[in-house]
Amino acid sequence: MYTTELGKSATVKSLEDPKLLEAFEARVAADEFIEPKDWMPEAYRRTLVRQVSQHAHSEIVGMLPEGNWISRAPSLRRKAILLAKVQDEAGHGLYLYCAAETLGTSRDEMIEALHSGKAKYSTIFNYPTLTWADIGAIGWLVDGAAIMNQVPLQRTSYGPYARAMVRVCKEESFHQRQGYEIMIAMAGGTPEQKRMAQDALNRWWWPSLMMFGPPDEDSPNTAQSMRWRIKRDTNDELRQKFVDITVPQADFIDLKVPDADLKWNEAKNNGAGGYDFGEVDWEEFYAVVRGEGPVAKERMAARRAAWDDGAWVREAAVAHEEKRRARAAA
């Protein structure tokens, strides 16, 4: 899973030692990795904390739409797969929280920011999963888009983030494949199953394109983030790549991408060819970012309930350790 870049723009403060700043910029420009104890500009640290924690939150909230279907998976095989996938998402969230913590923020602060609504997470998880085909579409499209976003981040300039992304990417590939496999099965099934598959594609296509974030001209952070190698490709470049790879996959299983403007264009991608596609409804995107997504409230309520319901387990673990220590000391 992945988060789009949703925060405010990062401006470089000139209060910092110009020599340190210059040395830092040179290291990053030379594709060196920055490690936790190295000097870094405050804006770099802030931008990373925001991006990595949003990414972590997205993994955690991303468990909810799919968790919704674990008990109703159509076979034991599918159930075992979905359980493993959801467990992976939890793991990805944990890798990323740890990476963010190396920047000087605490797990508590991040969880609090998520639960209070202060922190953002990917807009994609504020859409409902209505049928089993949605689980296929999520794996195929949402995880597909996530992989496209994440692969370049394995070379992001901040070492702990890059290492977390290497692990995530290794594990994410099965997520995308199992999703497409569900779609193959449903698209090749009964007419009703095929209708469900088409319906899921219709509902998830545009939100998936939104996952790459606003168009480049409306993405003020992109230039700075690319200079700092926090980001390696622009939103529009990645979106184009996703469309070019995904449309033939839809064709292959005889499903129709819900875009009347979709057309092959030989001149695209420097003559290699690519698809022209319609305009994403950015009003909808910004509405979901503002928290007006169809199931935004349910997601946060479920998240907070899980946290609160687990409080006694956390308290018991601490009490147990305190008792053990007291005994050892006696």
Partner 1 sequence: MSGGAGGDWPLWEVFVRAKAGLSHRHVGSVHAPDAELALRHARDTYTRRGEGVSLWVVPSAEIVASDPDEAGPLFEPAQDKIYRHPTFYDIPDEVKHI
Binding residue (CB under 8 A) for partner 1 from 2, 24, 69, 95: 95
Tell me the window of 193-201, 232-240, 286-294, 309-317 that interacts with partner 1 (CB under 8 A): 309-317
The footprint of partner 1 on residues 156-195 (CB under 8 A) is 163-164, 167, 171
Q: Which residue type does 80 have?
A: A
Pick the piece of the chain touching partner 1 (CB under 8 A) from 11-19, 87-95, 121-129, 198-206.
Answer: 87-95
Q: Which is nearer to partner 1, 23 or 223 (CB)?
A: 23
Q: Could you tell me which residues come within 8 angstroms of residue 100 by beta carbon, excluding any fewer than 6 positions away?
A: 48, 49, 52, 53, 56, 110
Residue whose CB is less far from partner 1, 15 or 328:
328
Residue from the set 1, 28, 81, 111 that interacts with partner 1 by CB under 8 A: 111
279 HSE (CA, 13 A, CB side) = 4
Select the residue interacting with partner 1 from 107, 195, 241, 268 (CB under 8 A).
107
Stretch that binds partner 1, among 9-17, 31-39, 119-127, 136-144 (CB under 8 A): 31-39
The CB-side HSE value for 273 (13 A sphere, CA atoms) comes to: 5
134 within 8 A of 202, measured Cβ to Cβ: no
CA nearest neighbour of 160 among 280, 326, 37: 37
Residues 6+ away with beta carbon under 8 Å from 103: 36, 45, 48, 49, 52, 158
Q: Is 312 exposed, middle or buried (0-12, 13-18, 19+ CB in 10 A)?
A: exposed
Binding piece for partner 1, criterion CB under 8 A, among 141-149, 180-188, 292-300, 318-326: 318-326
Residue 304 CB, shortest distance to partner 1, in Å, is 14
What ranges in the chain are assigned the alpha helix state H? Answer: 18-29, 42-61, 63-67, 76-101, 107-115, 132-137, 143-150, 159-187, 191-210, 222-227, 235-252, 282-287, 296-309, 311-329
Give the one residue of 18, 30, 31, 37 binding partner 1; rule: CB under 8 A. 37
Cβ proximity to partner 1, 94 vs 185, nearer residue: 94
Min separation Cβ 94 and partner 1, Å:
5
Residue with tokens 């049928």: 131
| Token duo for residue 127 | 């859409």
Report if residue 108 touches partner 1, rule: CB under 8 A: yes
Identify which of 249, 248, 273, 243 has the alpha carbon closest to the alpha carbon of residue 261: 243
Number of residues that bind partner 1 (CB under 8 A): 29
176-to-170, 246, 249, 319 alpha-carbon distances in Å? 11, 11, 12, 41
- The token pair that represents 266 in the structure block: 């030989």
To partner 1, the closest distance from the beta carbon of 79 in angstroms equals 17
- Which of residues 95 and 285 has its CB atom nearest to partner 1 in the complex? 95
Which residue lies nearer to partner 1 by CB, 11 or 173? 173
Instruction: Decide: is 27 part of the binding site for partner 1 (CB under 8 A).
Output: no
Q: Tell me the window of 59-67, 130-138, 181-189, 312-320 that interacts with partner 1 (CB under 8 A).
A: 312-320
Closest distance between partner 1 and the C-beta of residue 178, in Å?
15
Task: Supply the minimum distance, in Å, between the C-beta of residue 156 and partner 1.
Answer: 16
- Least separation, in Å, of the C-beta of 317 and partner 1? 5
Residues that bind partner 1 in the complex, under the rule CB under 8 A: 35, 37-39, 84, 87-88, 91, 94-95, 98, 101, 106-108, 111, 163-164, 167, 171, 311, 314-315, 317-321, 324
